[in-house]
Amino acid sequence: MAARANELTACAALDEIAAGRLTAEALTTACLERIAEREPVVRAFAHLEPERALAEARRRDGGEVRGPLHGLPLAFKDLIDTADLPTAYGSGLYARNRPAQDAACVALARAAGALVLGKTVTTEFAMRAPGPTTNPHDPAHTPGGSSSGSAAAVADRMVPVAFGTQTGGSVIRPASYCGIVGYKPSLGTINRTGVKPLAESVDTVGLFAREVADVALVSAVLAGEEPVRQRIEPLRPERVGLCRTPYWDEAEDASRAALEAAAAMLGRAGVRLEEVALPAAFDRFNDLQSMVLRFEAFRTFAYERTMHADQLAPGTLEELEAGSRIARRDYLDAKARIRACRGMIDEAFGNLDLLLAPSAPGEAPRGLESTGEPTFNRLWTGLLTPCLSLPGFTGPNGLPVGVQTVGARDDDHRLLRRSAWIERQIGAALSSPPGQR
């Protein structure tokens, strides 16, 4: 079991541990062995101390069961504070930073029995200056960002679940590029205390895993819901809105094909599909969300830019400089227009169970100089809605392409259940002979 334990999903691994067929140490060892094998190529981790992780795993094995995540190794984006590992926020400026305490999400996970495997690579301050992480499917391509290492580590089976953050498209886009499940909850579902802020009005802690059931379990524990050890019960959606968004012309053929294929699968399963065209007020939404992000980021990083600008990456400085040119009146106007759109999206849902939209423009771009564009993510981040990227499709280069499910604000649980059902349909359809799809 230990030799293949790193390939288990979180729920499956927890079942094995609970049944006494697997130990936390054996699971952690399998993950570390996979990291040792693949890290020279993937470069997903910013900080890793194998002996510390193994010692924490042994303490789980030798102690009482703490909670529903007992013995589960987790990885955390290097934007999230940990008391026993450095947290550098992807910046050389903080290379020696040792937080005094765990972030809330880390502390809650540990209290539920999980252990910290390591810290994963982030772009500098979760902005645009990329780190060294490569796409596990092809190292010549980006894994996406800013949660680059977390997405790559889960996709490469180095760890069953990893934490990321999303302020623009930093969970959904890399999940799509790496072919895994990415979950951006409703704003505030997972507490942000101890997470380096970027734009506090929209910063959201999210999760990566290989199945919807895994993110559902971990988020339920951290959000204070009644945790369920079994897999989440899939819920069949009755009415799904096909939302191509105002940016459909920026979708590549691979993303268009994935969305159409997912819609066709749902239609064959008896789900009623409706085209959803957003009002004209959404046509410039991405510009508005970008304006809010940059205005807030310019002030968030006042210390770094005024005292240590020479130690920041050029891409970071460019983003901050863009924020300096935004007038407060324009920022407030953008926020007001976004608030109006939030009311409109509530109406757009109507009797719909969820929306189906692109996760990313297409396959992961070639090269590591950029982490791709959050074209199909800024909208839902700014609207504060929960969303998931579901894997299962590929583009012309054989790289993953995801589709995105979007729920109404604070309706995360039902979105997770419905997405689990869609995940099952995609899996069943793709495993059937081509003539039956």
User: Mind telling me the catalytic residues?
Assistant: 77, 146, 170
Q: Is 250 exposed, middle or buried (0-12, 13-18, 19+ CB in 10 A)?
A: middle
- CB proximity list for 154: less than 8 A, separation 6 or greater: 75, 160, 161, 162, 178, 180, 208, 209, 210
CB burial of residue 350 (10 Å; 0-12, 13-18, 19+):
exposed
Cβ atoms of 357 and 244 within 8 Å: the answer is yes
Token couple for 410: 């604070």
Q: Are 416 and 364 in contact (CB under 8 A)?
A: no
Please give the helix or strand (H or E) that residue 132 lies within, else none.
none
Name the residue among 176, 174, 351, 333 with its Cα closest to residue 259: 176
Cβ-Cβ contacts under 8 Å for 298 (sequence gap 6 or more): 305, 320, 323, 324, 326
d(CA 60, CA 427): 34
- Angle subtended at Cα 407 by Cα 289 and Cα 242, rounded to the nearest 5 degrees: 90
Neighbours of 298 (CB within 10 A): 20
